[in-house]
Amino acid sequence: MNPRAKGARSVLKCRKVLEKDGWMFDTVEKTGRFIKMKDLWNLFDAVAVKGKYYKFIQVKTNLKGQKWKTPFKEFSKSHGNKYVSIEIWIWFDRVGFEVIEL
């Protein structure tokens, strides 16, 4: 299975969940042969906005382990507040999403 396609499906599932809850959602990742921009600040796949609240979201699929959390924790310490949340959404096959808010 193509990992890019699997990741795109996870982002689409995340989008559907948030839009159903009233969030405006947009993906950041741009892919293509000559496009080098991948993630917002090399961290986030998507941004969601609802009123004055913002979510910066990284979407993962079937991920185990904790080493990848460090840059997100650092970003959260310096930029997170009651209006800005840093979230990691992990899609597990046949289980659903696990949302980690940092």
Taken in order of first residue, the domains within the chain and their CATH numbers are 3-101 (3.40.1350.10)
- pLDDT reported for residue 85: 92
Question: How many CA within 13 A on the CB side of residue 48?
Answer: 22
Residue matched to tokens 């009233």: 22
Q: Tell me the pLDDT band of 23, cut-offs 50, 70 and 90.
A: very high
Residue 96 has pLDDT above 70, yes or no: yes
Per residue in 37-88, pLDDT (tens digit) is 666 667 888 999 999 999 999 888 887 766 667 777 878 888 888 999 999 9
What ranges make up the beta strands (E) of the chain?
Answer: 24-27, 46-50, 53-61, 84-92, 96-101
